[in-house]
Amino acid sequence: MRKKVDASLLGKCLKEIWKCEPQSLLMASGLAFMEALIPLGASLISAVLVDGLSTGTDYNKMAVTAMIGVAILFAMNALRGRMYRCGLPHSEYCNDLVEWKFDEKNMEMDYMQLDSPLAARIRAQVQNDYDWGCGAYYMIPQFQRCCTGIIGIIASVVLLVPVFLQGSFWKHRSVFLFLFYIGIVTWISVIIEQHTYAAKEALKKGYDACSGRSNYLMRGGISYREGKDIRIYKAQPMIKSALREKERDVMVSAESRLEIRAGLWDGAASGILMGSTYLFVVLRGLNGALTAGSVVLFATAIYQFTENVKVFSKSRSEIFMNARRMKSSFTYLELPDLMKKNNRQIRKEDFTGEIEFQNISFQYSGTAYPALDNVSLKLRPGQKIAVVGMNGSGKTTLVKLLCRMYDPDEGRILFNGVDIREYDYKSYMKLFSVVFQDFKLLALPIGENVAAAREYDPDRIKECLEKAGIGERIKKMGKGISTSLYRDIEEDGVEVSGGEAQKIALARALYKDAPFVVLDEPTAALDPISEHEIYSGFERLVGEKAAIFISHRLSSCRFCDEILVFHEGRLVQRGTHQKLLEDQNGQYHKMWQAQARYYKDSGVAIG
């Protein structure tokens, strides 16, 4: 059963590689032919020449034979070199193409699925499998070695047949005893190789169970951006000790002991086989059972046969292991979308529609409490709504549901009176510009970051950056909006502060020009002056668009038409700032008092 599963996985991997980059497999197959046939071809030519010399064949005839043979070997060697060199970039490219499928999947799959514990678990497994070695980059050479083994075995047998049929050679009992002996030594070699391979895999599995921390750190858990914290908190010893875990040292020593034992046996077996083969055929040759050329041919063919059996056996174990490791990748790439997809389109004329939450409840999988509990609200065109509440009260979840990152467990969200599940997802996405609390910018030019595209309108980009309050700063940068962010790619990229990054993210939201703007803690990283600029220019910033404004700071929400107060996933109060303050027992009043006390104590003005 397991073999069947492995074979179907291997077939799937090879099919995927073929679809991505067929040249890589063609080159590998061609290379396998050359690798397997060149040594046998060389020995065949030697055999013909030796036989010719010993039987006194015409010199000219032999010279022509030798030249043809050498020319064929030369061409095969040249082809081998070409295929090897040419195959490498195809293999690398193929590996990238397969890996890009993950990026595509991450970008295209439902966010709900992307964020699920199941997807996280499979992602970790994929990473782990790749760390131990799998994917096209490994599989293509393994495929090539498997083919070399098979072709080598077949070609050796083909060469051995005429030798066997020569005279009375095959009739001698010692030939069968010799072949039996060769079979036993080869079989022991294969068993030892397989045992070593299985033992190494078991070691890796054992190590996996205790390597979570070092794996996390090795896979980019720390980058240059963590440099400050690591220095300040002297985290170097903690990180170094995790990277250099004792278990890893133990595993490496055990693995190297296994390899030494297997290598010793392998070397000894090859020596024994080669020595005894030569001894045997020379003795048989001296007895007159073989021609001199056949002695050469027999010895090489037997040696190549046993070597290729070993090559095949080893690469077979490796390629099946690789295929098994690719299982997690296929599972991830085939993860189904969880959300219902429909195709109702939203046209520009519909942009003035209203959004309504009807009795929405939602709980993240693996959590004990609902993040939103029976929430109902409406968002009308042009309306400015503030959403306030303590940490974890469900504010960001509200935005995620609004943008259909998740579907509610209960209730419906309507746009223009139609359940949002009826709309085409990409069309529905046109409605929103969101600056998430944990927004991300890319290490690409600022213009591309703002437009989220390679092509953009530079004047509009500058206008949006200006509105977001970062126009002047960008003008001063060497290449203006063509300046790259961060130094991951460009040496002259700029490192922007948290507040500056937030303003660029704000400009990106404005550039999209969607009818609903959502700002999740939009001023958390801004200095007081920038914050004041944003609030006082809020109308100018979002204009006639509807806006949802999420903030901890109650004083900054007073300009909104309505304030929604969330507590433990429930919408507990709603109204204007003044109206909410009047309810002295209300959550808003409590939060206001707490913040007022803090600002009074610290001497900061809240108005």
List residues binding ligand ADP (CB under 6 A).
115, 364, 367, 371, 389, 391-397
- Cα-based distances in Å from 164 to 125, 155, 171, 281: 52, 15, 9, 12
Nearer of residues 35 and 520 to ligand ADP, judged by Cβ? 520
d(CA 403, CA 397): 10
Please, which residue, 60 or 367, has the CB nearer to ligand ADP? 367
Q: How far is the CB of 407 from ligand ADP (least distance, A)?
A: 14
- In this structure, the strands spanning 432-435 and 516-520 are parallel
Kindly tell me which of 285 and 389 has the beta carbon lying closer to ligand ADP: 389
Nearest approach in angstroms of CB 440 to ligand ADP is 16
User: The tokens 């937030």 sit on which residue?
Assistant: 502
Shortest Å, Cβ 569 to ligand ADP: 7
Contact of 301 with 40, CB cutoff 8 Å: yes
In the complex, what is the shortest distance from the CB of residue 587 to ligand ADP, in angstroms, rounded to a whole number? 13
Q: Which is nearer to ligand ADP, 117 or 543 (CB)?
A: 117
From 445, 438, 456, 437, select the one nearest 494 (Cα to Cα): 445
Dist CA 424 CA 455 (whole Å): 25
- The alpha-carbon radius of gyration of the chain (Å, integer) is 35
Give the nearest distance from C-beta 402 to ligand ADP in angstroms: 12
- Output 90 or 567, the one with its CB closest to ligand ADP: 567
Q: Measured from the CB atom, is 353 or 370 closer to ligand ADP?
A: 370
Cβ neighbors of 76 (< 8 A, separation 6 or more) are 34, 37, 38, 41
CB-nearer residue toward ligand ADP: 115 or 247: 115
- Provide, rounded to whole angstroms, the least separation between the CB of residue 386 and ligand ADP: 13
Nearest distance, CB of residue 524 and ligand ADP, angstroms: 12
Please say which residue, 399 or 461, places its beta carbon nearer to ligand ADP. 399
- How far apart are CB 368 and ligand ADP at their closest, in Å? 9
Instruction: Indicate the residue among 11 and 117 with the shorter CB distance to ligand ADP.
Output: 117
CB-nearer residue toward ligand ADP: 101 or 552: 552
Please report how close the Cβ of residue 432 comes to ligand ADP at its closest, in angstroms: 17
Q: What tokens were used for 332? A: 């991830």
- Residue 364 CB, nearest approach to ligand ADP (Å): 3
Tokens at 569, concatenated: 């996933």
Please say which residue, 76 or 390, places its beta carbon nearer to ligand ADP: 390
Instruction: Indicate the DSSP class of residue 479.
Output: T
Task: State the residue for tokens 């010199």.
Answer: 59
Residue by residue, DSSP assigns 386-429 as EEEESTTSSHHHHHHHHTTSS--SEEEEEETTEEGGGB-HHHHH
**Rounded Cα gap, residues 486 and 441, in angstroms:** 9
* Shortest spacing between CB 391 and ligand ADP, in angstroms: 5
Kindly tell me the number of DSSP H helices and DSSP E strands found in the chain: 23, 10
The Cα–Cα gap between 447 and 444 comes to 8
Residue 303 CA to residue 43 CA, distance in Å, equals 11
Provide the greatest CA pair distance for the chain: 119
The size of the chain, in residues, is: 607
Alpha helix locations (H) across 133-235? 136-164, 173-208, 212-216, 227-232
Select 135 or 389, whichever has its Cβ closest to ligand ADP: 389
Q: How far is the CB of 557 from ligand ADP (least distance, A)?
A: 14
What is the helix (H) or strand (E) element at residue 385, kind and residue range? strand 384-389
Tokens representing 93 are 């490219």
335, 155 contact by CB (below 8 A):
no
Q: Which CB atom, from 109 or from 134, has the smaller least distance to ligand ADP?
A: 109
* Smallest distance from ligand ADP to CB 434, Å: 13
The bridge status of strand 546-550 relative to strand 372-379 is unpaired
In sequence order, what are the beta bridge partners of 573? Answer: 565
Spatial distance between the Cα atoms of 139 and 15, rounded to a whole number of angstroms? 12
Backbone angles phi, psi at 117, to 5 degrees: -60, -35
